[in-house]
Structure 1
Amino acid sequence: MRGPHNLWRLIRTGATLERNDAMGVVLEAFNAPTIIRIAARGLGKPFKWLGYKGDPSLPPLLSALDAMGPAYVKLGQILSTRPDVVGEDLSRQLKILQDRMPPFPREVAIASVEKELNIRVDDVFSEFSEPVAAASIAQVHYARLRDTGQEVAVKVLRPNIERNFRKDFDAFYLGAWVIETLSPASRRLHPRAVIEHFEGSVRGELDLRLESASASEYEASTQGDEGFRVPKMHWKLSDRRVMTLDWAEGLSCNEIEKIDAAGHDRRILAERILALFLKHALHNGFFHADMHQGNIKIAPDGYVVALDYGIMGRLDAYTRRVYAEILYGFIRKDYRHVAEVHFEAGYVPMDRDIDEFASALRAVGEPILGMSAGDISMGRVLSYLFEVTERFGMETRTELIHLQRTMVVVEGVARSLYPDINIWDVARPVVEGYIKQNIGPRALFRDMSRTLRILSHFGPRLPEIAQTFLAEQQRPQRPPEPPKHAANWLWFVAGAALGAAMIAGLSRL
């Protein structure tokens, strides 16, 4: 990871940043300490002439990233969703990188499809267009199936993209290691964990079979959502480097004039996008984690169509409950409860003062909840919240960042459609619905039923466990303390019995 070739790539990265006048932008955005500034300048200035020259029409950092290739463009796209790391201004700049890469030739895409699927394109497709969209990892072609006439989208990976990304990741890890080593204060943001998260996301995108599986799961989990659609997969025409799914006709979210001309109500669309994202995250636990404007279309019938499933988020049931209670606490202005949830979940160290933390959360919530609808910003909420949690020793949690940064992007899309959208009014019914279903007597009944079902699988072993426990009790050379595993089982059995009694009582309510 830290070989000479990676050091060379790191030097060339610094040189490119210097040559495009972007080094100062990066150092300021990250509020880099003096030691990091000295090291960065040392890696860049003496070798400035080795750096790549970018597009002068772009802002300095975007020009540098664009010049260094797909991996750096993708990193910029990921960082555009991390205002907690790069700041709001730079986050907005980096969004320009979305879908900026030049396409590769149609003939190269056709050759890749034929090799990967072992077919002749002309035998399967009656049409196969020039690229209609090109991103840092893959590009999309419009096509039509010869046998059925079905319109489809064919996504094809860029040539040699896997090898190029592998080389750049090594340099990214070296850079993160250098930052953590020279700046202990940076460790709270976990630079290496950010790169690991980035690598995990990209590796999923570099194998289109994984994205195909995500698309299929997402389509299945959202079938009942009114006003929302995910195109169906064509598994026989998909593999590691090729993915085929139904063509989605519609307007991009940034085509405001065309959306108005088509007669769509932008307020309804904005509220639908925001509410459905929250529903997918809280109720389903599986959500689209890259919902920028380029990945959302408005169909002629007014349905919202989600595209590109390379980056998906997943939350377990416990985490969803924690987040729902935090959101609900802010909505109700119950800051003491929000603080308690943070402590109970282990997000904030137990040695901190809970009353002080609740007071700090009030300073986050009150000014924002008192704003007019058009001024409320989830980005501002998160910015303040990160300041508070940092002060109270809360470490950055990857899954929390994943959800929150996507929320910022979704809010931006919704606000571009309808600037006066009130995110709290939209969030309230979704969160309340989740709370009603998952916290309270019904949820307790359901959870205990699951516990008893699991316990029933181990029923035949309970006599043996009890016998082992009793035998251990009879041994005089040992204190009358049960073995740890047996004691745990007995407590589990006792808890299950108590749970069964509670269920029986609740069922009579």
Structure 2
Amino acid sequence: MRGPHNIIRLIRTGATLERTGAMAVVMDAFDVGPLLRGVIRTVVWPFQWLGYAGDPMMPPAPRALTALGPAYIKFGQVLSTRPDVVGDELAVQLRVLQDKLPPFSIAEAKAEVLRELGVPVEQIFSSFSEPVAAASLAQVHKAHLADTGEAVAVKILRPGIERAFRQDIDAFYFAARVIEALSPSSRRLRPMEVVTHFEGVVMGELDLRLESAAAAEFKANTAKDAGFQVPSIRWDLSRRRVMTLDWVEGIGAGDNAALDAAGLDRSALAARVLQLFLSHALRDGYFHGDMHQGNLKIGANGDIIAFDFGIMGRIDEYTRRVYAEILFGFIRRDYQRVAEVHFEAGYVPADRSVDDFARALRAVGEPIFGMDASRISMARLLSYLFEVTERFGMETRTELILLQRTMVVVEGVARSMDPRMNIWQVAQPIVTDYVAKSIGPKALLNDLRRTALVLARFGPQLPRLAEEALIRLNNPPPQQRLRDGRDQLAWMAFGGAVVGGAWVIAALF
């Protein structure tokens, strides 16, 4: 850790936060104690002139982060997915980050392509445009393949972005340690863990091979989804710093006037956006974690086209079932069952009252269901639900927070297309279908079949386990070895019975 570099960088960061008015907002969000507030203000105030002014038309926090550069913009985007850390108010502010920066030159872009692919741009592409989009990490060019004439999008990381991010992440760790040392009350927000989470997200996005793999997996999962497209990756033209994928034309999902002019049914599009997201989350357990309007286009045929796969969410099957049962319970207004699901999943401590929790859930759900269709919000329900579970001692679960945040974004996209959409009516068939397939007798039989197949894999290991057990029995150093050998024989016998049963069950299916 380079102390002087970190100190200078943090002074400039603090000066920018102070100059833009974001300092008070950030300290309130992180519940900074009076001692640390005083130290920060004393150190930073004389250096305000070193801070960047930023865009005065933006809210304070996005204004400061945008002025400070790519790492800070990305940090703000990641924090916008963690209202449990920064609070709802600041999370909403951070979502307005435009993620737009001045592009780097086309000459630098061509040099990056040459370094990564080993071939000059002119040999691969018959045309290579100026940047059509520039973000905090990379920019995109439209090109045409020289051999086929097909249009593709070429995404290229900013030159030197890895080094710049490593320097800033180093400073973030330094700041987190200072905050934890000077403000014990902030430790409940786990500043070091937040920075570690941010580092993991960013380092993943700085390897475009990982984004290419995410896009390919998402495309495979959604291949049979009617009215949904994911551009194909051109693997032969993709490397760590360059990603090439098919170019797909479409109307921006937020351009209602253009959608109307094209004769597209915005109500149907709104319903499909929400249903597709729920299908991906529940059916596949793998969903687009940044499904805002800038990452969605609408094709001329009405297909929804997704882009930018740097942030993807993954939830295991057990969590999916819990999430589906919670949504299904709310759809049926069965608050007792919703409460029981939380306890069965271990989300709420067992020493709390199920009945009291069900009553609290009813207080959350009933006012929402009494609203006009245009005001019924699944995102608001999930937000209130997290508040209630926090009061009952539920620990924060990162995967559910990303799911909640994405649900908020997707609902916003859907409502921008159709403000009168009834969220629950649209969601019900997807949730009900998933519950029918994943919870009940049929699901139980499928679980048993999968379990049997897993257990059956241990069959070839039984001879080795028996031999090891016999060696232990024939060479006992003391009593403990003997007990261990007998235990192993017992487990071997049990394993043999289980594996034998597993083969029988597997054969039945």
What's the TM-score once normalised by structure 2's chain length? 0.90
SS at match of 1:127: strand
* Structure 2: distance between partners of 1:187 and 1:358: 31
Q: After superposition, where does 1:285-300 map in structure 2 within 5 Å?
A: 285-300=285-300
* Structure 2: distance between partners of 1:359 and 1:439: 25
Aligned to 1:362: 362
* Structure 1: distance between partners of 2:235 and 2:127: 19
* Structure 2: distance between partners of 1:472 and 1:119: 62
**How many equivalent residue pairs?**
506
* Structure 2: distance between partners of 1:393 and 1:38: 32
Query: Does the C-alpha gap of structure 1 residues 281 and 42 become closer, same or farther in structure 2, counting only changes over 3 Å?
Result: farther
Percent of residue pairs bearing the same amino acid type: 61
Aligned to 1:439: 439
* Structure 2: distance between partners of 1:165 and 1:276: 34
- The worse-fitting range, judged by mean Cα deviation, of 478-487 and 425-434 is 478-487
* Structure 1: distance between partners of 2:270 and 2:32: 37
- Structure 1 position 198, deviation (Å): 2.1
Aligned to 1:237: 237
- The answer to whether the 8 Å contact 2:453/2:506 transfers is no
Q: After superposition, where does 1:282-321 map in structure 2 within 5 Å?
A: 282-321=282-321
* Structure 1: distance between partners of 2:252 and 2:31: 36
Aligned to 2:279: 279
- The worse-fitting range, judged by mean Cα deviation, of 46-55 and 459-468 is 459-468
**AA paired with 2:455?**
L
- The worse-fitting range, judged by mean Cα deviation, of 454-463 and 423-432 is 454-463
- Structure 1 position 113, deviation (Å): 0.9
**AA paired with 1:202?**
V
- The answer to whether the 8 Å contact 1:36/1:182 transfers is yes
- The answer to whether the 8 Å contact 2:455/2:498 transfers is no
SS at match of 1:290: coil
Query: Does the C-alpha gap of structure 1 residues 191 and 425 become closer, same or farther in structure 2, counting only changes over 3 Å?
Result: farther
- Structure 1 position 480, deviation (Å): 8.0
Query: Does the C-alpha gap of structure 1 residues 352 and 485 become closer, same or farther in structure 2, counting only changes over 3 Å?
Result: farther
What's the TM-score once normalised by structure 1's chain length? 0.90
Aligned to 2:328: 328
- Structure 1 position 422, deviation (Å): 2.1
Aligned to 1:382: 382
- Structure 1 position 387, deviation (Å): 2.0
* Structure 1: distance between partners of 2:377 and 2:2: 41
Aligned to 1:161: 161
Q: Which runs of 5+ in 1 are unaligned?
A: none
* Structure 1: distance between partners of 2:25 and 2:245: 40
Aligned to 2:218: 218
Q: After superposition, where does 1:167-206 map in structure 2 within 5 Å?
A: 167-206=167-206
Considering only aligned residues, what root-mean-square deviation do their CA atoms show, in Å? 2.9
- Structure 1 position 147, deviation (Å): 1.2
* Structure 2: distance between partners of 1:477 and 1:129: 77
SS at match of 2:427: helix
- The worse-fitting range, judged by mean Cα deviation, of 392-401 and 288-297 is 392-401
* Structure 2: distance between partners of 1:423 and 1:394: 26
Per-residue CA deviations over 1:79-117 (Å, capped at 9, x if unaligned) read 333344444443333233233211111111111112211
- The answer to whether the 8 Å contact 1:81/1:408 transfers is no
- The answer to whether the 8 Å contact 1:286/1:313 transfers is yes
- The worse-fitting range, judged by mean Cα deviation, of 215-224 and 172-181 is 172-181
Query: Does the C-alpha gap of structure 1 residues 348 and 500 become closer, same or farther in structure 2, counting only changes over 3 Å?
Result: farther
SS at match of 1:97: coil
Aligned to 1:402: 402
* Structure 2: distance between partners of 1:500 and 1:442: 19
SS at match of 1:96: coil
Is it true that 1:352 corresponds to 2:352 in the alignment? yes
Query: Does the C-alpha gap of structure 1 residues 375 and 190 become closer, same or farther in structure 2, counting only changes over 3 Å?
Result: farther
Query: Does the C-alpha gap of structure 1 residues 33 and 326 become closer, same or farther in structure 2, counting only changes over 3 Å?
Result: farther
Aligned to 1:53: 53
Query: Does the C-alpha gap of structure 1 residues 360 and 86 become closer, same or farther in structure 2, counting only changes over 3 Å?
Result: same
Query: Does the C-alpha gap of structure 1 residues 164 and 477 become closer, same or farther in structure 2, counting only changes over 3 Å?
Result: closer
* Structure 2: distance between partners of 1:324 and 1:240: 37
- Structure 1 position 460, deviation (Å): 4.1
- The answer to whether the 8 Å contact 1:315/1:399 transfers is yes
- Structure 1 position 470, deviation (Å): 9.8
- The worse-fitting range, judged by mean Cα deviation, of 38-47 and 487-496 is 487-496
